[in-house]
């Protein structure tokens, strides 16, 4: 019998699929989903749900005590593109929600925390190819600044208070189940929908912009695998680099053309191009591979197969 888990931000792109997978693994009644709004019918019907504001400490504490929560997955965040439009709202949500959960763990009200970081912690001065686990960061976006700050606080709470907090730096994520929520890599999901619906797509990044990406199944597997690993294996308490695949919008278009001949993409870069240009093109995730056995399963063509097959259904 697994002790109860709380997912904060369960209705987002990652949170939705994480909720289903954890319920599948540990039983629906042991996984409490929560968000500031209700999610899809499938999510709402799959198990317990609480309306919850991630910035409200007392409200989170109430839910934690009521369900006797043991682990919290904090998935609530304002993502890169949206955060540039609302800097203070993004900072408030991204930082205060983290402090709320870290403080609950510090007070021994929960025993384990998962908090996602991002490749957005890296900046224009970071080595772009095979970006190392520890390197120059200097993020230039609101989202990246909040994630880098969060990494430092996670490490601090672990060293100072013994909080068992675990994290991965997600690359761009690709999923057919939920639409993305205002990130710089959203094109990699939109493109499949438009390919099937219109046969054309206008991409908001240059065709040659190479970025680290990952199919959602791999991201969920990595998250749960990290949380399930014995404490002694977790050597990094800021956040682990997590690698999947790297490709450009042009690579993706070619992969789709194998299934939809004549598919055409035009490139009209907007403000997200500058964000993408500040990020790595590939990730060195040796620490995650060596310490807790991380290994991705999906490459670009396998991802395209999965996306098109499932979206057609």
Active site residues: 143
Pairing of strands 211-215, 245-247: antiparallel
Beta carbons of 34 and 59 less than 8 angstroms apart? no
Alpha-carbon span 130 to 212, nearest angstrom: 10
List, as own/partner pairs, every contact residues 194-197 make where C-beta atoms lie below 8 angstroms and the sequence separation is at least 24, other chains included.
Answer: 195/256, 195/260, 195/263, 195/308, 196/260, 196/308, 196/311, 196/312
Alpha-carbon span 263 to 257, nearest angstrom: 6
Alpha-carbon span 34 to 16, nearest angstrom: 10
If we measure between CA atoms, which residue out of 181, 182, 243, 254 comes closest to residue 211? Answer: 243
Which tokens sit at 157? 């709470």
The dihedral through the CA atoms of 196, 311, 13, 41 has a sign that is positive
């Amino acid at each position: 019998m697994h002790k109860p888990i709380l997912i904060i931000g369960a209705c987002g792109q990652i949170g939705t699929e994480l909720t289903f997978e954890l319920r599948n693994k540990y039983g629906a009644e042991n996984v409490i989903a929560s968000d500031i709004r209700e999610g899809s019918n499938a999510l709402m019907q799959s198990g317990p749900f609480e309306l919850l504001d991630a910035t409200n400490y007392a409200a989170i504490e109430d839910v934690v005590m009521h369900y006797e929560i043991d682990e919290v997955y904090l998935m609530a965040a304002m993502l890169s593109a949206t955060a540039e439009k609302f800097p203070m709202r993004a900072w408030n949500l991204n930082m205060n929600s983290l402090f709320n959960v870290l403080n609950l763990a510090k007070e021994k009200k929960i025993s384990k925390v998962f908090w996602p970081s991002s490749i957005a912690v890296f900046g224009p001065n970071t080595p772009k190819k095979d970006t190392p686990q520890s390197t120059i960061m200097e993020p230039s976006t609101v989202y990246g600044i909040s994630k880098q700050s969060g990494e430092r606080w996670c490490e601090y709470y672990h060293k100072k208070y013994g909080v068992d907090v675990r994290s991965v730096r997600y690359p761009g994520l690709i999923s057919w189940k939920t639409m993305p929520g205002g990130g710089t890599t959203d094109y990699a999901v939109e493109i499949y929908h438009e390919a099937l619906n219109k046969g054309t797509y206008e991409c908001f990044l240059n065709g040659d912009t190479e970025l680290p990406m990952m199919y959602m199944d791999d991201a969920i597997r990595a998250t749960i695998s990290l949380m399930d690993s014995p404490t002694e294996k977790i050597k990094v308490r800021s956040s682990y680099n997590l690698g999947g695949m790297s490709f450009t919008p042009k690579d993706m278009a070619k992969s789709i053309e194998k299934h939809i001949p004549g598919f055409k993409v035009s490139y009209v870069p907007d403000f997200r191009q500058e964000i993408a240009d500040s990020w790595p093109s590939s990730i060195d995730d040796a620490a995650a591979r060596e310490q807790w056995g991380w290994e991705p399963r999906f490459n670009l063509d396998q991802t395209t197969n999965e996306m098109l097959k499932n979206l057609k259904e």
